[in-house]
Amino acid sequence: MDLELRNKVVIVTGGAKGIGASIVRAVAREGGNAVIVDRDKAAGEKLAIELRSEGANCSVIAAELTSGESCSKVVNQVLKDSNSLFALINNAGVNDRIGLEHGSPDKYMASLQRNLFHYYNMAHYALPHLKRSKGTIINIASKTAITGQGGTSGYESAKGAILALTREWAVELLEFGIRVNAIVPAEVMTPLYQQWLSSFPNPEEKMKNIISKIPFEKRMTTPEEIAAMAVFLLSSKAAGHITGQHLFVDGGYVHLDRALS
């Protein structure tokens, strides 16, 4: 099925690695024009060069998104380069483990800056352009907003707020024909996940334990499976009547009966 994403400009924050990079690849495969926005310039350039060598239209903007000013600059740059914007995929984030006990008010605020404020800032600056294209927004959240994880208040509050903002923006943007949805991953192997896993004394055992609790096929979700949902949601043709939804791509991790395992 042609998802009709050809030549459509799609910003993917955190698009250089992990889930974001898989989304960039999927957008490129559909003929879209993916803009990788990431602080890891080298990884972004490497991916863009690879995709361009396959004929895709892909560019990189190196940016640290924690300031509102940098988000504004990114959107301006995209418009200068491409003159249009169809979609914003808010994806950059880090489970930085700023907990209630082992955190501080300042660290908590900094975690919100890393995980939440740029989702709002990017959407705010992108909005006038999304109105013109009747575009769409996808927010990448996390299962931890629903299940809790312990020791990670900043990340959790950000991800909970991201789910709430998805509904809020879906309502606010109805009149402009802009759809807003969230994808909720649970366990996906990425550089971030690998880093988190290696913080345990026995990462292999921890991994086995986690996998044993994933109901469907006792395996992790692949980044490609998250990306498949993202391109489906991007498509006005395929997902034109889907808005305000939280789509769990998690092998049943959050909602299926724990007694199953």
**Catalytic sites, residue numbers:** 155
Q: Which is nearer to ligand NAP, 86 or 119 (CB)?
A: 119
| C-alpha pair distances (Å), 62 with each of 35, 44, 74 | 10, 8, 9
User: CA angle 143-148-149, nearest 5°?
Assistant: 95
Cβ-based neighbours of 258, under 8 Å, separated by 6 or more: 213
Q: Which of 20, 99, 135, 251 binds ligand NAP (CB under 6 A)?
A: 20
Q: Are 154 and 116 spatial neighbours (Cβ–Cβ below 8 Å)? A: no
Instruction: Candidates 47-55, 72-80, 89-97, 174-182: pick the segment binding ligand NAP (CB under 6 A).
Output: 89-97
Asked whether position 142 contacts ligand NAP by CB under 6 A, the answer is yes
**Of the candidate residues 29, 45, 46, 66, the single one contacting ligand NAP (CB under 6 A):** 66
> Can you tell me the distance from the alpha carbon of 168 to that of 162, in angstroms, rounded to the nearest whole number?
10
Alpha-carbon Rg for the chain, nearest whole angstrom, is 18
Minimum CB–partner distance for residue 65 and ligand NAP (Å): 4
β-strands 87-90, 9-13 pairing: parallel
Q: Which residue is nearest to ligand NAP (CB)?
A: 18
Neighbours of 218 (CB within 10 A): 12
Q: Which long-range contacts does 74-80 make (Cβ < 8 Å, 24+ apart)?
A: 74/11, 74/37, 74/122, 74/125, 75/11, 75/122, 75/125, 75/126, 75/129, 76/125, 78/9, 78/11, 78/35, 79/129
Whichever of 21 and 173 has its CB closer to ligand NAP, that residue is 21
Residues that bind ligand NAP (rule: CB under 6 A) add up to a total of 28
Amino acid occupying residue 193? Y
CB of residue 237 to ligand NAP, shortest distance in Å: 26
Binding to ligand NAP by residue 72, rule CB under 6 A?
no
Sites for ligand NAP among residues 178-237 (CB under 6 A):
185, 187-188, 190-193
CB 118, min distance to ligand NAP, A: 6
| DSSP 3-state percent helix, strand, coil across the chain (nearest 5) | 50, 15, 35
Q: How far is the CB of 177 from ligand NAP (least distance, A)?
A: 26
Interatomic CA distance for residues 26 and 79, integer angstroms: 22
Q: How far is the CB of 23 from ligand NAP (least distance, A)?
A: 9
Q: Identify residues 25-64 at the interface with ligand NAP (CB under 6 A).
A: 38-40, 43, 63-64
Which x/- pattern, by CB under 6 A, does the window 103-132 give for ligand NAP? -----------x------------------
> Minimum Å distance from CB 191 to ligand NAP?
4
Q: Are 163 and 141 in contact (CB under 8 A)?
A: yes
Interaction site with ligand NAP (CB under 6 A): 14, 16-20, 38-40, 43, 63-66, 91-94, 114, 140, 142, 185, 187-188, 190-193
